Chain A
Amino acid sequence: MDFFFFHLMPWPHLPADYDGPAWVKCPNTNYDPKRGHEAYNRYLDELLYAEELGFDGLCVNEHHANAYGNMPSPNLIASILARQTTRCKIAVVGNALPLYNPPLRVAEEFAMIDVISGGRLIAGMVVGGGPEYYSNGLNPAEARERFYEAHDLIVQAWTRPGPFTFNGKHYKLRYVNPWPRPIQQPHPPIWIPGAGSLETMEFVAKRRYAYMGIPYFHKRVFKRNFDFFREACEKEGYTADPKQMGWLTPIYVAETDAQARKEYESHFWYFAKKLLPGIEISPPGYTTARSALKILTSRNDFMLYLEHWDQVEEGGYAIVGSPATVRQRMEEMIDTLGVGNILALLQLGTLPADLTRKNMELFAREVLPALRKHTPRPVAEARQAVGA
């Protein structure tokens, strides 16, 4: 198992009476730069502390124009980590390729991070969420086509000797010749998040990249998606390595189950009810009409629509409890999902610095070592046991 500490860098100061979306149109007058200075630096401290505590990697991601996550440029954060850490993998999950013009910039910046860090980058690549297409003018109906072409350009930029010409439909470059080139060969590992589209899974399986389950769904959704991904790998003629799958989950550990829920619950609801609203925006053409319809009609399984704590526990939307409880729940999930990467979201919403630290320490000292020793039951056996 590999354990990653994932930070979203949220804005924890939305006014209590604000009930609009956190994405696209949340007025940026709500952003106080002085408090932002404190927040960024506190969050960076937490990322560095995670390396001290023994995590295998650190994750940051890209979102624009919202209160949910304040990293429109995750590469800026990753470059700080490249310089200030020595051991951890640095996973940018991921650059929203169509938002870079040209996407060659992703190849260049990722190469810089990889070289400065001594070969520790994990290159995540995403299409960019629906809201991002409202925030930056790119045509959502072209999003996926651009993503695939941009991916090809970036991988070629890393692996073909330059200068060479790239003549795509969207990107036409006469001289592709990036300096620097990445340290890792043939290129940094590539992670691609997915929310269930078969096309994405087939793409990842074919190229032997790693598939990250997009979070905030009921655990049955993750299970189904990872099962489909494993099938996609079998169709390609190989058995998926658990390290090709990653599960991002909010986790909170405290001394007892009761204390954990008491300390965590209000911060969880700030996240679910103030930071998630707006994330579900799906602009025209962003997915096929059939997929958009499927999304519209499957609200039951998404964190945004939860109302009671019981649902959080039942669906595994967050793993909350004493060290023993969290260990046990996570062992079950690892067995059920068959994942080899845990992306632990240990800071969430308004969770303050002191509780975040305590959470990180309890997880790193009381939970992580036991999980490292846990031998996952083969997935088939686990499915039989839970009557899947």
Chain B
Amino acid sequence: MSHTTLMLDVRGTAVELRRAGPGAPLLYLHGGGGDSEWLPVFDRWAEHFTVYHPSHPGFGKSGGLEHIDGIEDLVFHYVDVIAALGLQGPPHVVGQSFGGWVAAEIAQRYPQLVQRLVLIDAAGLWLDEAPMAEMFGTEPQELAKLLFYDQQHPLAVAMSSITDFTQLPEEMILNQLKAMEALAKVAWNPYFHNPKLERRLDRITAPTLVVWGRQDGLIPLAHGERYASRIPGARLAVIDKCGHLPVIEQPDKVGELVTAFLR
């Protein structure tokens, strides 16, 4: 199954949107990298759902970064994106990492806008005893160790072998730099979290699944446990032999978990 890519006008902001499949709407909110492109697991979900995969402001061809100064701006942006999609009812919302934080924020502020919620290795919380690792300013070799359980995964190998940035195509470096800037605008300080989020998680009414890679070295499993314990009725599913990016490292397992939960 192939997906289409189009530019969506959202209140004057251009949003790059990838879409595939018939079925109930599934809005996927990507993380800081890797899953901002279309992945095989999205094809799998597109067999049962209409998958909407927008690029965040500042990523890919999406504009609007100049209006994003914090998480609240991003939430308003996605309220507008959902309206612009012209759906019959509220979508399922699936968010990974940074996108998971955004998903949790939407679900607690606008409970009626989310059908079912899936948080995959989501940012957004602060745990003194298990802080999220440093991402900004971390060399690719170190980042590969934080992100992947299997250091032989092709993407881990590719990241580990980057010793000189000038080896990479200019376009790739520019996209990466712009992506980091887009993340920094929201997530620099407080670092990848909203101090008020944890206390408001009980406002979420959508049935929620929390998915976590057991060996996530970037955002520890304790964050997943905290999310699951604070969101009413939430269930936690832990994927073994998996780091921070289940959609890349264990696509079959996470693909199946999410499909079963949303149907």
**Partner-B contacts on A (CB < 8 A):** 134, 137-142, 281, 283-285, 289-290, 292-293, 296-297
A139 to B192, CA, bound (A): 12
Q: How far is the CB of A279 from chain B (nearest CB, A)?
A: 13
Bound CA–CA A236/B174 (angstroms):
32
Top 9 A-B pairs, shortest CB-CB distance: A284-B180, A285-B181, A289-B177, A284-B184, A139-B188, A137-B189, A284-B181, A141-B184, A285-B184
- Residues of B contacting A138 with CB < 8 Å? 189
How distant is the Cα of A297 from the Cα of B166 in the complex, in angstroms?
A: 6
CA distance in complex: A297, B136 (Å): 20
- Seed contacts A142-B185, A284-B184; 13 additional CB < 8 Å A-B pairs: A134-B136, A137-B188, A137-B189, A139-B185, A141-B185, A142-B69, A284-B136, A284-B177, A284-B188, A285-B184, A289-B174, A289-B178, A293-B177
In the complex, 5 of the A-B residue pairs with CB atoms within 8 angstroms, ordered by the A residue number, are A140-B184, A285-B180, A285-B185, A289-B181, A292-B177
B174 touches A293 (CB 8 A): yes
Query: Chain B CB within 10 Å — which of A137, A140, A141 has the most?
Result: A141
With contacts A134-B137, A283-B137, A284-B177 taken as known, whether A293 is within 8 angstroms of B170 at the C-beta atoms is: yes
Q: How far is the CB of B141 from chain A (nearest CB, A)?
A: 16
Smallest Cβ distance from B28 to chain A, in angstroms? Answer: 23
A-B contact count (CB 8 A): 48
The 8 A CB mask of B155-171 against A (1 = contact, 0 = none) is: 00000000001100010
Q: Collect the chain A residues with CB atoms within 8 Å of residue B189's CB.
A: 137-139
How many residues of chain B are within 8 Å of chain A by beta carbon?
17
| B247 interfacial contact with A, CB 8 Å | no
Residues of B within 8 A of A285 (CB): 180-181, 184-185
CB distance from B82 to the nearest CB of A (A): 26
CA gap between A137 and B137 in the complex, in Å: 14
* Complex: chain A residue closest to B165, CB-CB: A296
Q: How far is the CA of A290 from the CA of B177 in the complex (A)?
A: 9
Q: Is B173 in contact with chain A by the CB < 8 A criterion?
A: yes
Q: How far is the CB of A131 from chain B (nearest CB, A)?
A: 10
B166 to chain A, nearest CB (A): 5
- Bound together, the chains give a CA A138 to CA B189 distance in angstroms of 7
